[in-house]
Amino acid sequence: MKALLFEQFGGPEVLRYVDIPEPRLEPGSVRVKMRAIGLNFADIYRRRGNYHLAGRPPFILGYEGAGVVEQVAADVSHIQIGDRVTFADVPFANAELVVVPTDRVIPLPADIAFEQAAGILLQGMTAHYLVNDSYVIKPGDDILVHAAAGGVGQLLTQLCKSKGARVVGVTSSSAKREVALKAGADEVFLYDGDWVNDVLRWTRGSMGVDAAYDSVGATLMDSFAATKTKGTVVFYGMAGGDPPYIDPRMLMDTSKTLTGGDLWNHVTTHGNRVERSAALFEAIRQGTLFMEELKLFALKDGAEAHRLLESRRSTGKIVLIP
């Protein structure tokens, strides 16, 4: 089979599209013929060497995708050959064939395209736990969303709006501001402006937002400044650099809450994976969630897809097609 792999850390040029042996089916698993594979920034970090990778090269990237079951282990009876499935955390997905443990298999309804599933599952489940677990959005809340034009940012904005909140976003350019507004944000400010005071003036009584979702990291203290007394800051990423250390006395003096978020602490059972993905698929059906047009690349052109994602010029999800 063909796979996209690399043998040394570096830029997109280290990626190679080559023939490798087909993966061996293990007990309690199925083999999936891939139809679509989601590309995420975690793939960039792994390729660069920012993340520690177990084992020895060559390494195959990819953790998210969708396809059709073509082989089932002898001890598996509830999944059949020909079933449409998707997953969000199975390694070696940048290949034509992927072995998926049954506790990671999510049924894919017939009315959800393979590309849609590969494009929304990981980021969508992240947005889902952020608005339902980390901070429970209430009607009338004022919510700040960082990187509002990004994949998670757009979905987060839409889910907040569907729960009756007002959303103010922050982005890095005028073009991305338009993307965030199209996604449903009520207002969007730019990072190179006085965005903290802009956000304060935008909120009711200039008191600050009820909650801020911060995926940038380096902006964490600014998020606190834009959040009202007794408000909440949800830290779930550091795309802009490491966050500063937080003085607990500040939290005490302002009665503000800092909470962290990681998807894999919230998606811990097969039932929860199915439940959250089903909620996302239903939101797509109902029009609560709309996805910006996907950017499709052939898997063999994965290096070009990496270059686009790494450039940060892309606002929609990038999906690789085997």
* Structure tokens belonging to residue 171: 């982005």
Q: Residue 226 carries which DSSP code?
A: T
Residue range 248-298, pLDDT digits in tens: 999 999 999 999 999 999 999 999 999 999 999 999 999 999 888 899 999
Residue range 13-61, pLDDT digits in tens: 999 999 999 999 999 999 999 999 999 988 998 999 878 777 888 999 9
Beta bridge partners of 106: 86
Residue range 169-215, pLDDT digits in tens: 999 999 999 999 999 999 999 999 999 999 999 998 889 999 999 99
Question: Tell me, what amino acid is at 219?
Answer: T
Which class in CATH covers the domain with range 139-260?
Answer: alpha beta
User: Does 139-260 match 2-121+267-321 at the fold level?
Assistant: no
Q: What is the pTM of this model?
A: 0.92
171-188: string of b/e by CB count within 10 Å (b at 16+)?
bbeeebbebbbebbbeeb
Spell out the domain ranges in the chain.
2-121+267-321, 139-260
Q: Specify the fold of 2-121+267-321.
A: Quinone Oxidoreductase; Chain A, domain 1 (3.90.180)
